[in-house]
Amino acid sequence: MKLFFSIFNFFPVSFLDEVMLTTKIKYSIKSVFTTILFSVMALGVNAQKKELDSLEGKKVVLDEVFVSAIRVTKATPVTFSNITKEELAPRNLGQDIPILLNFLPSVVTTSDAGAGVGYTGIRVRGSDATRVNVTINGIPYNDSESHGTFWVNMPDFASSTESIQLQRGVGTSTNGAGAFGASLNILTDAVSEEAYAQISSSIGSFGLLRNNLKFSTGFLNNQVEISGRLSKLNSEGYVDRSRVDMDSYFLQAAYKDESTLIKAILFGGNQLTYQAWYGIDAQTLRENRTFNFAGAFTDENGVQQFYENETDNYKQDHAQLLWNETWNANWSTNFALHYTRGRGFFEQFREDDDFETYGFTPIEVDGVEVNTTDLIRRRWLDNDFYGTVFSANYKDENIDFIVGGGLNNYIGDHFGEIIWARFAGNSNIRDRYYEDTSRKNDFNIFTKANYTLNKQWSLFGDLQYRRVGFTANGEDTGIVDDTFNFFNPKAGITYDMNRNNNFYFSYAVANREPNRNDYENGSPKPERLNDFELGWRYINPTVQVNTNVYYMRYKDQLVLTGGLNDVGAPLRQNVGDSYRLGLEIDAAIQLGDKFKIQPNLALSSNKNLDFFIEGATGLESLGDTDIAFSPNLIIGNMLSYSPNNDVQISLLTKYVGKQFLNNIQNENSVLEAYSQTDLNMQYTIPLNSFAKSIAFSGLVNNLFDANIVSNGADFGGGFVVFYPQAGTNFLLGATLSF
């Protein structure tokens, strides 16, 4: 208990007073908070969610070899949470992966359309999606230019996910853009020894309809397996006209013998989404929460209309070839080739746009010069991303050593075309009014090791060199030709006090390049992070706990300004010195045979140090200010009731504290604290006839119909917009297994 109370001494008294005295928490949230503190102080708790009675771990699942180079276990001094497909299944009814991860520690999620389908986002420890490094089977997924992750291009991907690991902080060496808030490592479906088939359907509020079909041949001749999934998903969205029409596929062929595992994987998605990324102002939020002004124009009679095809259209296909070879009792290797093809556009109706923007020559109509016009434009992105990742692993009784790396290349073409104009001068249909090209190459090599000194002490080291080259030409970015050389060392120590208690400390350095939007927004600098993590894990048959304190100190951090560019991407700026200091606790407590409680708590202080703004008389110092989109308090809880193996009922609660939308702590630019409660049920009926089982699932989101606003934007000058989330809504699903 001394450790628990000493952790609070890391926080300034004023910060704790502010959290405890000024945060208005409803009765239900007070109950969650009280439960967390009582559980921790009375029992001590954990977060790795393993049904084990010690910290000795378990054998590696066959397919986990593909992510072994970047995933961690309790032997590594890194803060992490694991979630399996079995844990995802009851809530996997069509919503995107970020929404399914909403109840993990320090996580905040949002949805443009308000219902968890379409464009969704995730923030971890206050860090936005561009700072969350996402890999799929160890292959980078973040967009090379924007660093963002567009889950809308992978609809229903959770249905092909075996497990997910969320590493908070810098984590271990990863492929792709450096992690500045978290790393999200996704492992796709494991090889199945037995043949199976599944048909799954979901219906829900706002016209949601999801259907998917999954199958596996099982092992043919004990060596080859073929499996796949087809999905179709539609929703009208909570926000007006925020409809989505999406389909996706996943196809896998695997070969296995005693020493070899090879997987060839194809997956992709095709989405058509009515734009809903503009948000609404405060007055509209009060009067008409679902209003969406995307596509708005005034007709010849002065009546407001909406263009029916103000849509985002994009298709993305991925190919992965994964090869693991076990050479002897000590050595194994991983080698992967990958290729991603993306192409698509978003279409817009533009009212009274300037000729100059499109290179049109002014014309005369009835003797009057015309230099503006109504038009419909498409802005295209056509890109290719390909490369290789590799690693070699040596293990014996005392050391687990990995050397690896990756080489990836990206080519992206951006161009705009006019498909209709009321007045167009001497232009032709599909004339391109801009053409930009970007290229990026990313090379990294790393070596890391866990060395066991004795039964109690082990050391961890991780050294990574990363070289990034980025070139771009365009009217917005200018001519960019930058090369970055980064050295990212990490080190830590782990102490296993006994079978139940595990302590760790780590220090990690991360460096990261600006993205394309940063160049468009000015002259950005690369950013640097020093991350300190101190943690304690406790586990016994009924109680598990993971508690950690972190201190993340940044130099030239690219923080969100609150604004968006003309395609809805968040804008950032370098802020000099800044930090994030936090305490995280998450737990799993078995209460008898039928009940389980899984609370989590995140307290943090997130500050820009000596922040300056451009005032009327020059630079003006605001002192230390809160970093935008960084709540000081996040609480979560899941209470589960399972009277038997076939029934599960869960009540999930989330509280997110107040967030500023800018870095100057303007009270008119705030996301107010909110609380959300979901009810989730699953009932599985074993069958002995033509099918093995049928599972019924139900999910009631926002059970108490709270007015939730989980995201916003501040464009300056008092122009602030918000993204409301749906009130009470439901999803129902059934899965028939053969």
Phi, psi of 729 (to 5 degrees): -150, 165
Q: What pLDDT does residue 238 have?
A: 97
Q: Quick check: 177 and 510 in contact, CB under 8 A?
A: no
- Average model confidence (pLDDT) across the chain: 88
CATH number of the domain where residue 252 is located: 2.40.170.20
Q: What is the mean pLDDT of residues 707-719?
A: 91
Q: Quick check: 196 and 216 in contact, CB under 8 A?
A: yes
R_g (Cα) of the chain, nearest Å: 26
Phi, psi of 152 (to 5 degrees): -60, -25
Q: What pLDDT does residue 3 have?
A: 39
C-alpha–C-alpha distance, residues 9 and 1, integer Å: 13
Q: Quick check: 737 and 691 in contact, CB under 8 A?
A: yes
- Residues 629-677 pLDDT 10s: 999 999 999 999 999 989 999 999 999 999 999 998 888 899 999 999 9
pLDDT band of 529, cuts 50, 70, 90 = very high
**DSSP annotation string for 208-246:** EEEEEEEEE---BTTTEEEEEEEEEEEE--SSTT--EEE
Q: Is 339 helix (H, G, I), strand (E, B) or coil?
A: strand
| Closest C-alpha among 50, 17, 9 to residue 545 | 50
Q: Select the more confidently predicted residue: 536 or 21.
A: 536
| Structural domain for 273, as ranges | 2-737
Instruction: Give the range among 354-358, 477-481, 710-714 with minimum mean pLDDT.
Output: 477-481
Q: What pLDDT does residue 530 have?
A: 95
pLDDT band of 65, cuts 50, 70, 90 = confident
Q: What pLDDT does residue 120 have?
A: 95
Counting beta carbons within 10 angstroms of the beta carbon of residue 645, is it exposed (0 to 12), middle (13 to 18) or buried (19 or more)? Answer: exposed
| Closest C-alpha among 172, 174, 192 to residue 136 | 174
Q: Quick check: 564 and 553 in contact, CB under 8 A?
A: no
Tally the residues of the chain: 738
Q: What pLDDT does residue 30 have?
A: 41
Can you point out the beta strands (E) in 453-591?
A: 457-474, 478-496, 501-512, 527-539, 543-555, 558-564, 570-574, 577-591
Q: Is 466 helix (H, G, I), strand (E, B) or coil?
A: strand
Percent of the chain with pLDDT over 90: 71
C-alpha–C-alpha distance, residues 701 and 239, integer Å: 16
C-alpha–C-alpha distance, residues 640 and 657, integer Å: 25
pLDDT band of 475, cuts 50, 70, 90 = low
Amino acid code (one letter) for 257: D
**Count of the separate structural domains present in the chain:** 1
Cα within 13 Å of Cα(186), Cβ side: 23
Rounded-to-5 percentages of helix, strand, coil across the chain: 10, 55, 35
312: its two tokens: 């985002």
On the question of pLDDT at 2 being above 80, the answer is no
- Residues 240-267 pLDDT 10s: 999 999 999 999 999 999 899 999 999 9
- Residues 482-520 pLDDT 10s: 999 999 999 999 999 999 999 999 999 999 999 888 888
On the question of pLDDT at 48 being above 50, the answer is no
Cα within 13 Å of Cα(681), Cβ side: 9
Percent of the chain with pLDDT over 70: 90
Q: Quick check: 460 and 488 in contact, CB under 8 A?
A: no
C-alpha–C-alpha distance, residues 466 and 427, integer Å: 46
Which DSSP letter does residue 288 get? -
| Closest C-alpha among 416, 428, 431 to residue 382 | 416
On the question of pLDDT at 481 being above 60, the answer is yes
Q: What pLDDT does residue 394 have?
A: 96
pLDDT band of 36, cuts 50, 70, 90 = very low
pLDDT band of 567, cuts 50, 70, 90 = confident
Which DSSP letter does residue 164 get? E
On the question of pLDDT at 54 being above 60, the answer is no
C-alpha–C-alpha distance, residues 384 and 179, integer Å: 22
Q: Select the more confidently predicted residue: 313 or 477.
A: 313
Q: Select the more confidently predicted residue: 702 or 516.
A: 702
| Three-point CA angle 119, 123, 125, nearest 5° | 175
Burial 606-617 (b: 16+ CB within 10 A, else e): bbbeebeeeeee
Q: What is the mean pLDDT of residues 89-97?
A: 94
42: its two tokens: 């009375």
Q: Quick check: 555 and 574 in contact, CB under 8 A?
A: no
C-alpha–C-alpha distance, residues 450 and 630, integer Å: 33
C-alpha–C-alpha distance, residues 233 and 239, integer Å: 17
C-alpha–C-alpha distance, residues 512 and 572, integer Å: 14
Amino acid code (one letter) for 715: F
| Closest C-alpha among 506, 398, 395, 405 to residue 460 | 506
pLDDT band of 45, cuts 50, 70, 90 = very low
pLDDT band of 38, cuts 50, 70, 90 = very low
C-alpha–C-alpha distance, residues 223 and 203, integer Å: 38
C-alpha–C-alpha distance, residues 383 and 406, integer Å: 19
| Three-point CA angle 35, 36, 39, nearest 5° | 80
Q: What pLDDT does residue 612 have?
A: 76
| Three-point CA angle 714, 716, 721, nearest 5° | 30
C-alpha–C-alpha distance, residues 340 and 356, integer Å: 36
Residues 6+ apart with CB under 8 A from 30: none
Q: What pLDDT does residue 18 have?
A: 41
Residues 326-329: contacts with CB under 8 Å, at least 24 apart: 326/258, 326/259, 326/260, 327/259
Q: What pLDDT does residue 222 have?
A: 87
